[in-house]
Structure 1
Amino acid sequence: MKLLEQEWREASGLGKLHVKALFHKFVYELLQQLYGQSIEPLKPDLVSQAVAYMREHFSRPMTLESIAEELQCSTGHL
């Protein structure tokens, strides 16, 4: 991962595309090993994350859009 990060910082144009391809291959290999061992990755519980965020930041103004942005999802999905 450190090598990928270093290459990303030094790359331009086509080089960044190559780094993205290597990263996707890394993720694929990782998931293939997990599934090969019958380990199912857990999906984060978005509702629990939203509730936790609202509890931690209740004193600040917030909107559905700001919460979705913080949780890196769309408002429709949230």
Structure 2
Amino acid sequence: SKFDDAVLEEAIALLKAYRFQRRQKRFLKSGVRLYFSNVSGMVFLADERLNVAVLDEGELTQGIVCHGCTKQHS
């Protein structure tokens, strides 16, 4: 897939935030992966239990996932 520079920069910022904040932010467990949504345009991290983290003004925050949506758009 093709991603523009803004999306790639957001992915880099998200991974950096995870690297430095993961010990303080304990909502992600094992099996963390980086995801790019073609539907929403969002970049996010999710673990194997579908706990989600997004970047909000440089802070790693817990996101919400629509389980029905992920089944339809995985």
TM-score tier (shorter): 0.3 to 0.5
> TM-score scaled to structure 1, two decimals?
0.33
TM-score, normalization: structure 2?
0.34
Structure with greater strand share of residues: 2
**Of Structure 1 and Structure 2, which has the larger fraction of its residues in helix?**
1
| Higher relative contact order, structure no. (Cα contacts within 8 Å, ≥ 6 residues apart) | 2
